[in-house]
Structure 1
Amino acid sequence: MDIHEYQAKDLLRRFGVQVPRGGIAYSPEQAVYRASELSGDKWVVKAQIHSGARGKAGGVRICASEEEISDAAQWMLGRKLVTHQTGPRGKLVSRLYIEEATDIAQEIYLGFVMDRKEERVVVVASAEGGMEIEEISAREPDSIVRSVVDPAVGMQAFQAREIAFQLGLDPSLIAQAVKTITGCYRAMSELDANMVEINPMVVTRSGEIVALDAKLSFDDNALFRHPEISELRDKSQEDSRETFAEDRGLSYIGLDGRIGCIVNGAGLAMATLDMIKTAGGEPANFLDVGGGASPERVLMSFKAVLNDRNVEAILVNIFAGINRCDWIAEGVIRAVKELQLDMPLVVRLSGTNVEEGMRILAESGLNITTAETLADAAEKVVAAWKAADKQQAEAV
């Protein structure tokens, strides 16, 4: 789960990380008022979306007057910002963060990520901040500093000092840097975060280390331990297809293809996506219906798949161990009838009660194509999709 910049900064502040003063605004009038509360002669208006590269899309503006703040807020609010991270759909701006301007002397990149190979938290830092870590790695690979944290003892002060010295910080700033680095690690550890990123962490001309931007991402499986973090979730920033499925206990990831997939088991689901591509099609989603799928759960899976308006054919691929093929068949029939499905549907069943499941499908009288193997199912659904697409094009 991702959160907004202002929420991340509020959390990091609790762990001793220094951040600029700021306030949230939902209208141009509020934005102007927030700036007056902060005083000063320059402010930064930041669109709050779950994406980086906001500045390149016009989502970060430095303003020197109330008029400029109002104009910037008017332009951003209600607009969908499109960055290379959001994709063409973009992200809707519904709130702004008004922040005091910072006099920057130096920009630094600081990130904490889970290295699944090492099974450790890894600190990645660079004296070349202000750009994405991929760009830094490509342009200044020698500037990258890496440090692995031993989970038995956590981030130690000496380790943080080593990172600070490798970043070339002035000796007078080392104590502040240590406080920032250890604070970020504590936030990641205590809040069950997957990632903490400060980009840029800046040194001001007055000699302070400040987190100018912040991004935190959390482990969904640990949110039950942190209800205060769960409350920070902004569903308007998430893929509506994925949100619908997640709220109903389904594992779903939206893709860009035209063939919807309903499968049980992550491994089988991945294999199904591969077979569809091998057959010449493009999958529209990854969906794991899970074990013990009832007819109601199958129906809900169909609804999740059909929330994507690009879907033009559906493949159901079930290997029943915990599941039962007759339950799946009943769910498929119910979905076709209740949702008035009018697109190609291919069903491949294998495992427990497969004979009964196939009998139920055969006797339903519905336009359902069955398949014996995964390869057969993938070829049939791609062929049916192409035929329907061609027929629709000719009709137009």
Structure 2
Amino acid sequence: MPRARGEGVMRLHEFQAKSLLAGHGIDVPEGRVALTPEDASAIARDLGGEGFAVKAQIRSGGRGKAGAVRIVRTPDEVATTARLLLGQAFVTSQTGPDGAKAHSVLVERAVTAPRSLYLSLSIDAARAETVLLAGAEGGEDIEERVHAGEMRLERLHLTSDQEIKDDEALALGLRLSLSGTQLREFASLLQRLTSAFSSLDATLIEINPLMLTRDRTFVAADAKIIIDDNALFRQPELAALREEQEDNEGERVAQNRQLNYIQMDGDIGLVANGAGLGLATLDMVHAANGRPANFMDIRTTATSLDVAYGFSLLLNNPAVRSILVNVHGGGMQPCDTIADGLGIAMRRTGRRLPTVVRLAGNNAEYARFRFANFGCRVIDRPDMWSAATRAVEEARIAGTRP
């Protein structure tokens, strides 16, 4: 549901997120991480009982649909399942076409419960507030179910100190049809969750599903946490969780291509030169009710081939339906370098998407000539807002085509 915004975020694995939540008094299933099938089987034997969840650890939602989460009965089945999951690349709506490879699995005692809920905390940048979303049902396809009118998410904007008042927590629980001890425990859970969000410098904490067990306790069956990268200087223990070998391959290569690139889960590819301009472009698309597929800042040292690699990341992503190019040519990065990069990428990939451009500064007119030379039919807009709204509209139109 809520998405990480902008540059500089660190996505945690599920097992890391759960460890942090447990440290703030939030119940999570008993389990441990395994790197081999033998370790996975041994963990299951230590846990005991029958019924285990084996989960490939990749930093992406939608793992269930991709087959990255399996429920099995015995330690032997845990080993067999781990052998299938480890080393496999899973493609979800958030990974791009190459998917994300699982280097570890989380083995947990399976949790059964008569009811599950949805819960998340995120940052509303437009209002500079923390937003709490809660749903009376949890599980996959939350966003699609909300858009289809099949379920409703309750929304609560928190105060500047990111604390939730007791009466607000209780009122929210009532709207979710909780009562008695369930209601009091839910209010307490929200207090612990908002405390964790603040102390961790998080931009997103999402618990889905939040299981309500038969003994009326809440258990975070799955969890996602995203940390503000800019706050890691005061979070050394979180900085240590970063595992460069498992970062998105495209993001890693982009760094060597003079691009600051972060993949997101929207359908509008963004290209800008300059971190400030890139963030402003991101905010414009959000304000126009669009969903950015990425953040991209082209450094002044990037060549046309470097830029072509960045455009290729967008063109090779099947989720991207339109591209927004917002460029101000400077002395070291003229607009025609960006135009050449798009032309090269389109020829290499063979894919053409509705591309909205806003050009200003050095060689802007020559860039328009280069677009035409490459056969790139771009939609030229005079300002940032009209460019952003047009890119959002093009993505919407493309999404309605069969």
- The TM-score with structure 2 as length reference comes to 0.69
Per-residue deviation, 1:309? 7.0
Partner of 1:375: 368
1:61 maps onto 2:54 in alignment? no
Partner of 2:4: none
Partner of 2:119: 110
Match of 1:76 among 68, 85, 90: 85
Residue-by-residue CA offset, 1:154-198 (whole Å, 9 max, x unaligned): 222222222222211231122321222111111111111111110
Give the 3-state SS of the residue equivalent to 1:99 in structure 2: strand
Distance 1:328 1:22, change over 3 A: same
Q: What amino acid is the match of 1:243?
A: R
Question: Counterparts of 1:376 and 1:174 in 2: how far apart (Å)?
Answer: 64
Are 1:23 and 1:98, in contact at CA under 8 Å, matched by a contact in 2? yes
1:171 maps onto 2:175 in alignment? no
Distance 1:260 1:165, change over 3 A: closer
Are 1:196 and 1:215, in contact at CA under 8 Å, matched by a contact in 2? yes
Distance 1:101 1:223, change over 3 A: same
CA RMSD after TM alignment: 3.9
Which protein, 1 or 2, shows the higher relative CO under an 8 Å CA cutoff with sep ≥ 6? 2
1:137 maps onto 2:131 in alignment? no
Question: Counterparts of 2:188 and 2:122 in 1: how far apart (Å)?
Answer: 18
Question: Counterparts of 2:69 and 2:24 in 1: how far apart (Å)?
Answer: 26
Match of 1:233 among 214, 218, 242: 242
Question: Counterparts of 1:164 and 1:260 in 2: how far apart (Å)?
Answer: 39
Distance 1:381 1:99, change over 3 A: same
Partner of 1:44: 53
Residue-by-residue CA offset, 1:199-247 (whole Å, 9 max, x unaligned): 0111111221111110011222222221222222244544323234458
Q: What amino acid is the match of 1:131?
A: E
Match of 2:24 among 7, 15, 23: 15
Partner of 1:185: 194
Q: How many residues align?
A: 328
Q: What amino acid is the match of 2:66?
A: A
Are 1:2 and 1:218, in contact at CA under 8 Å, matched by a contact in 2? yes
Partner of 1:319: 329
Q: What amino acid is the match of 1:120?
A: E
Distance 1:383 1:45, change over 3 A: closer
Q: What amino acid is the match of 1:19?
A: V
Partner of 1:24: 33
Are 2:118 and 2:138, in contact at CA under 8 Å, matched by a contact in 1? yes
Distance 1:267 1:99, change over 3 A: same
Residue-by-residue CA offset, 1:248-294 (whole Å, 9 max, x unaligned): 98423579xxx9978456648999xxxxxxxxxxxx9975345xx4x
Distance 1:65 1:373, change over 3 A: same
Residue-by-residue CA offset, 1:340-360 (whole Å, 9 max, x unaligned): xxx99xxxx986xx7xxxxxx
Per-residue deviation, 1:17? 0.8
Q: What amino acid is the match of 1:100?
A: R
Are 1:20 and 1:212, in contact at CA under 8 Å, matched by a contact in 2? yes
Are 2:163 and 2:191, in contact at CA under 8 Å, matched by a contact in 1? no
Per-residue deviation, 1:317? 6.7
Q: Which sits farther off after the overlay, 262-271 or 54-63?
A: 262-271
Residue-by-residue CA offset, 1:66-116 (whole Å, 9 max, x unaligned): 221111111111111122332332111110000011121210011112122
Partner of 1:394: none
- The TM-score with structure 1 as length reference comes to 0.70
Are 2:271 and 2:278, in contact at CA under 8 Å, matched by a contact in 1? no
Distance 1:304 1:201, change over 3 A: same
Are 1:245 and 1:304, in contact at CA under 8 Å, matched by a contact in 2? no
Match of 1:5 among 14, 18, 27: 14
Are 1:264 and 1:319, in contact at CA under 8 Å, matched by a contact in 2? no
Percent identity, aligned pairs only, is: 33
Per-residue deviation, 1:2? 0.9
Distance 1:238 1:350, change over 3 A: same
Are 2:12 and 2:226, in contact at CA under 8 Å, matched by a contact in 1? yes
Q: Which sits farther off after the overlay, 133-142 or 25-34?
A: 133-142
Per-residue deviation, 1:121? 1.0
Give the 3-state SS of the residue equivalent to 1:197 in structure 2: strand
